Amino acid sequence: MRSIDIHSHLADDYFDENRDEVLAIMAEKQIGTISIGTDLVSSQRVVALAERSALVWACVGVHPENLHEGFAAAEYGSLLAHPRTVAVGECGFDYFRADDAVAARRAQRSLFEAQIECALAHDLPLMLHIRPSRGTLDAYHDALDILSSYKKKYPSLRGNSHFFAGDTEVAKQFFDLDFTISFTGVITFAREYDAVIAYAPPERMHAETDAPFVAPVPHRGKQCVPWMVEEVVGRIAEIKGASIDECAHTLLGNTKRLFALE
Ligand SMILES: [Zn+2]
């Protein structure tokens, strides 16, 4: 394996037309992915896909926008116990689109806490989705408060903050809690995360695509697929002043370590 895209939605309907083609290119390029669930049905789909392809691992859980669904740990029992399941999520806070701020935030918090407890019970890392309201870092501050209090009681708590959109101070707080951060194709066409990438220790980062969203340069305008993670790795290498091979090797090691992949 050369690289692993740690966050894609390869099991979702978007890929029903061409999933096998995408997997064939991934096999050629030796690129794997962690496919992410956002509710019970998509979590069942990611586990089924991971069973079928050695290039895919599963992350199961409920996205903060799927509040109506809740998180019934019992329904997720066999998915969480599955040997190809490597993380819980994507879970956390999405304040970007929440209309009724107070009620939605309270409900998102209990959904998040249920999944933190589940990750601890199954000794799995968390895949965090944290999206603040416009022009603020509010969702990061709330998530970090909760994670720090759990971390004091449960030192094994660990995970990754996906689609990182915080600043160096927020990144530092994640590192202090033994969490990593990951970057998408956005970094290939926007400069706003260069500073945090330059700041972050290389062993605390991952590359991802969030496919089918945000295709990196030079694939803008096309469907984003997991093998495009090589462009994200290339851009991290450039910012870090490392060779692509060296950077790919470090990032792959980080991913294997956090998600306990063989
Ligand atoms: Zn996602």
Q: Average pLDDT of the chain?
A: 96
Please tell me the predicted confidence (pLDDT) of residue 230.
98
Q: How far is the CA of 181 from the centre of ligand 1 (A)?
A: 14
73-120 per-position pLDDT tens digit: 889 999 999 999 999 999 999 999 866 678 889 999 999 999 999 999
Could you tell me if 132 and 101 are in contact, meaning their C-beta atoms sit under 8 angstroms apart?
no
- Ligand 1: centre distance to CA 128 (Å): 9
State mean pLDDT over 121-135: 96
Structure tokens at 96: 């970007």
DSSP assignments along 189-218, one per residue: T--TTHHHHHHS-GGGEEE---TTS-PPTT
> What token pair was written down for 116?
């933190």
- CA distances to 28, 48, 144, 208 from 36, rounded to whole Å, are 22, 12, 22, 11
pLDDT score for 116 = 98
CA of 83 to the centre of ligand 1 (A): 21
244 alpha carbon to ligand 1 midpoint, in Å? Answer: 25
CA of 212 to the centre of ligand 1 (A): 9
Tell me how far the alpha carbon of residue 260 lies from the centroid of ligand 1, in angstroms: 20
Q: How confident is the model at residue 243 (pLDDT cuts 50, 70, 90)?
A: very high
Tokens, residue 85: 């399941």
Ligand 1 centroid – CA 139 distance (Å): 16
User: Is the previous residue joined to 64 through a cis bond, with omega within 30 degrees of 0?
Assistant: no
Tell me the DSSP string of 1-64.
Answer: --EEEEEE-TTSGGGTTTHHHHHHHHHHHTEEEEEE-SSHHHHHHHHHHHHH-TTEEEEE---T
The token pair that represents 54 in the structure block: 């050695």
Q: Read off the pLDDT of each residue in 9-33 and give the average, rounded to a whole number.
A: 98
| Residues by chain with Cβ below 5 Å of ion ligand 1 | 36
Integer Cα distance of 245 and 243 in angstroms: 5
Q: What are the pLDDT digits (tens) for 170-218?
A: 999 999 999 999 999 999 999 999 999 999 999 999 999 999 999 999 9
How far does the centroid of ligand 1 lie from the alpha carbon of residue 129, in Å?
Answer: 7
Predicted local confidence at residue 102, as pLDDT = 85
**pLDDT score, position 99:** 63
CA of 161 to the centre of ligand 1 (A): 11
CATH 3.40.50.150 fits 3-259, yes or no: no
Q: Name the amino acid, one letter, at 241.
A: G
Q: Domain extents for the chain?
A: 3-259
Amino acid 98: pLDDT: 67
Residue 129: its H or E element:
strand 126-131
Q: 3 C-alpha to center of ligand 1: Å?
A: 18
Residue 89 CA, ligand 1 centroid: distance in Å: 9
What was the pLDDT predicted at 262? 74
